[in-house]
Structure 1
Amino acid sequence: MATETLVAPEAAPVRQSLHRSRLILVLLCAAQFAVSLDFSILNVALPAIGPDLGLGQADLQWGVTAFSLPSGGFLLLFGRIADLYGRRRLFLTGLSLFAAASLLATLAWDPASFLAGRALQGLAAAMIVPSGMSLLTTTFREGPERDRALGASGLLLSLGFTAGMLLGGVLTQGLGWRSTMALNVVMALGVLAAAPGLLTESRLPERPRLDLPGAVTITGGLLSLIYALSTAADRGFGSTDVIAGLVVGVLLLAAFVAVESRTAEPLVSLRMLRRPTVAWGNAGGLVTFAMMTSVIFLSTLYLQQVLDLSPGASGLVFGVMGLAAAGGGAVAPRVSGRLGAHRTLVLGLLVQAVFTAALLAVGTGGAGTWLVVVAGSIACFGHLFAIVAYSITATSGLADEEQGLATGLVTSTQQIGMTVGIPVLSAIAAARSDALRSAGESFAAGTLGGVRLGLGVDAAVVAGVALLVWFGLRRRA
């Protein structure tokens, strides 16, 4: 007589649930990838956009700044709105706006229409990223399951930035700059078609009052700071509007802290910000993003202005670095499970710092290309360790009703890091290069000196923050 298998009736639902969770992860990671890709894809295409649309050389930076201002400034606000009024709803709204804004940028007929499309893309990104991250953290249980999901998300975010630089050059050269924006339309529509059938609504059971004074001060403060730092590289930190932006940003952020300490239902819980995991996790994330994007930028200057490599050859170098980052993202969740997220975060930061410092040995010879490939790839490997570990650290130990805010902080850290690192270090490198050229050095030698100083500052900052994170999280661990 055949025996009955008691677990058989439950096996199919379990497999279906696992399959659905994986599809949701793919969907949310695809959205993160699209946003990250859009952040960097125009860097190579901007010189072609200027003559086509009549955008002056001095105004080209607004192609990037118009996106980064709303994407960084509104993240915390939309993270809270997602918690209160529905994460799925905000995610779908953001995707729809992202597709429409990308179409506007693709069909742009003058500078105003193009910059309007970029600004709406940034606003849509501020909706997509925190709502998507909070959907991810509430879909997967805390522990190894969520760690793997966050690892995949961090990997796709970093790869999106690198792929954007590579694809921007290839598409612009082959199909024109408009194809870089059209790609965003295709990706957004693909995710939007699959999302309604996979995602279920998720929000707080009770809707507390939205902290409007907190929303105004934090959004205004972030907008002011991002504007100032984004324009400092071109106009200098001594520029009146840069100084004004920094001062207004600091004052508004100070006002935000004062408002939140007196509000019964704050936009950002200062109690949560005092958690070592949240504070130090986000500090590590801010630095790893800011400094790694700066390494890529400075390496681009070195490869093309010192070694005279073509954009295509430079893209291949970054492609190898992207593959190394993918390897780091695949391994990091397992390492984090064995060592703990806080140790993995410090390890990733130290690897990034050491191999960024190794790039100080670059020179005018062809061997510099191989040094960038090897040292840069290992630095990217460590960078992904830090990304995965800080995402886990900064969102662990929190209730579901706090996940939208926590992931809003995580994604604000990511976007602000990618926004502020390049302007600050490029300003440092440019000042050094100008000083060397004024002293009689050639253009290439001046560029090399500036790149070396920028890389040295980069490595020192990452190493210093790694030590601070270690001491800050050691007692908590």
Structure 2
Amino acid sequence: MSSMVQPAIANSRHMPLRWWALIALALAQFLVVLDASIVNIALPSLGSELHLGTNTLSWVITAYVLPFGGLLLLGGRLSDRFGHRRLFMTGVAGFALASAAAGLAASGAWLLTARAIQGASAALLAPAALALVTKLFADPQDRAKALGIWGAVAGIGSAAGVLLGGVLTASLGWSAVFYVNVPVAALVLAAVPFLIAKDSLGERITLDMTGSVAVTGGIVALVAALSGTERVGWTSPQTLILAGLAVALLASFIFLEKRTANPLMPLGIFRNKSVTGGNLAMFLIGGATTGLFFALSVYMQQVLHYDALKAGLTQLPLAGALVAIAGVVPAVVKAIGQSRTLATSLILLASGLIWLSLSPSDATFAANLLGPSILIGIGLGGAFVSGTELAVHGVTDEEAGLASGLVNTSQQIGGAIGLAVLTTAASARSDRLLDRGVSEAQALTGGFSWVFLGAAAFAVIGAFVVLAVVRHPRLSK
């Protein structure tokens, strides 16, 4: 490695290469977030070609979310142990190979296996990438800008999933939603060695494997229980057994972490109120956004009868608003603080969701969807940027991988819980409306309105939690 590149991290304030490194890291993070939503619109054509039933189709999403959410904490700690750059590149390579395998899938089992490997690879690269960002940008002002871009990428990835999923499925077929990852990942792998210095051989962290097994098993069991509720119900033996297993494993994890010399997740990190507040907010943001994008894509296709391409293109205003606001957020954070910026963003997000919940079964895009979409984009842009900043504020380099894993874990678990709760409520609402004799379109619309209102409630709760937990943290401090 050249002498110009070698000090990229150590002397980050004066090295412009760090911004190119940020682009490479953000591209990989974009793929990780994108793959949680891009498959939604492709599911009907994918299921038809691979002869998958409705219940199996839901596992195309779950097979990705389970290992992703379950392995994130371990992935963050592994990156602290073996090196952030090394784990990042390993995760990107695995993600690219699994994406290619998913695009080539000739059966449901093949596809689900590839999706699981995608999720596990994402759990390696995501926390390592964010840890690298926090190390590359040590200066508070530079870090604010970098995390602003990072948070915007996370929000754009969620919105772009529906957009790109529709465009790619309509033009190239369902396999394109997986193939698109491969060239981007290859570009990242080629660029990173020239932009980020090799991992230093500092003090090695002893891994807490017992705690790793307990927390990974607990999170997987929790996500599996919640993901299956719409299909089997909240009181089914499957849900109750998995939920009980999750509680037991997570309780044992906390017990173990208090007593081990080298814990996987030192509980003292939560004495940092910014970390606590940021993760609580990201948990609730995950619940709101996952429910939002799932319900919105289904509402547009099943109720408004948009095709895949039109449903995707309607996300452009939301994504555009998100991108536009992301550049402004760091200045707002500097002026009023992270917690106030985050709370304000969440209130704006809730307002847009409430507005969207008023959309009728014969809604038009210009009259009913455009305004809420722009307001939601503004709220999401501010929430993702300030929430990410808050969740990693004040952590040490040794805790960077852990803090990054926590942010992603909070968002993924929040998404799983939010989706399970909101879709169950929507189904119950639609069933009651059908029993009253309303049309199917009106019943579905009524159910989706509950999803949007529930997502708004998550956002409002998040705003109050952040203001209660965090005391005016600013990057300048």
**TM-score (norm: length of structure 2):** 0.93
Which one-letter code corresponds to 2:334 in the other structure?
Answer: G
From 353, 376, 380, the equivalent of 2:373 is 376
Alpha carbons 1:42, 1:180 under 8 Å: kept: yes
Q: How far apart, in 1, do the equivalents of 2:70 and 2:13 lie?
A: 39
What is the aligned partner in structure 2 of residue 431 from structure 1? 428
Q: How far apart, in 1, do the equivalents of 2:139 and 2:339 lie?
A: 15
Change (3 A) 1:310 1:55: closer
Q: How far apart, in 2, do the equivalents of 1:41 and 1:297 lie?
A: 10
Residue 214 of structure 1 and its aligned partner are, at CA, apart by 1.0
Change (3 A) 1:394 1:387: same
1:271 aligns with 2:244: no
Q: How many correspondences in the alignment?
A: 465
What is the aligned partner in structure 1 of residue 467 from structure 2? 470
From 46, 51, 65, the equivalent of 1:49 is 46
Per-residue CA shift, 1:206-235, capped at 9, x if unaligned?
113211111111101110111112222232
Which one-letter code corresponds to 1:405 in the other structure?
Answer: L
Alpha carbons 1:83, 1:204 under 8 Å: kept: no
Alpha carbons 1:84, 1:204 under 8 Å: kept: no
Q: How far apart, in 2, do the equivalents of 1:330 and 1:289 lie?
A: 22
Alpha carbons 1:362, 1:368 under 8 Å: kept: no
Runs of 4 or more, structure 1, over 4 Å off, are 14-17
Specify the SS of the correspondent of 2:249: helix
Per-residue CA shift, 1:21-44, capped at 9, x if unaligned?
111011100111111122211111
The aligned runs of 1:18-417 (5 Å cut-off) are 18-202=15-199, 205-367=202-364, 370-417=367-414
Alpha carbons 1:229, 1:420 under 8 Å: kept: yes
Q: How far apart, in 2, do the equivalents of 1:460 and 1:37 lie?
A: 25
Bigger mean CA deviation after superposition, 338-347 or 235-244: 235-244
Unpaired runs of at least 5, structure 1: 1-13
Aligned-CA RMSD value: 2.0
Alpha carbons 1:73, 1:222 under 8 Å: kept: yes
Q: How far apart, in 1, do the equivalents of 2:82 and 2:463 lie?
A: 37
Alpha carbons 2:18, 2:196 under 8 Å: kept: no
Bigger mean CA deviation after superposition, 223-232 or 358-367: 358-367
Per-residue CA shift, 1:103-141, capped at 9, x if unaligned?
111211221211111111111100110011101111101
Specify the SS of the correspondent of 1:40: coil
Residue 340 of structure 1 and its aligned partner are, at CA, apart by 0.9
Specify the SS of the correspondent of 2:206: coil
Bigger mean CA deviation after superposition, 213-222 or 432-441: 432-441
Residue 203 of structure 1 and its aligned partner are, at CA, apart by 5.7
Alpha carbons 1:292, 1:380 under 8 Å: kept: no
Alpha carbons 1:87, 1:203 under 8 Å: kept: no
Which one-letter code corresponds to 2:225 in the other structure?
Answer: A
- Percent identical residues: 38
Alpha carbons 2:156, 2:323 under 8 Å: kept: yes
Bigger mean CA deviation after superposition, 59-68 or 291-300: 291-300
Q: How far apart, in 1, do the equivalents of 2:37 and 2:12 lie?
A: 38
What is the aligned partner in structure 2 of residue 5 from structure 1? none
Residue 416 of structure 1 and its aligned partner are, at CA, apart by 2.5
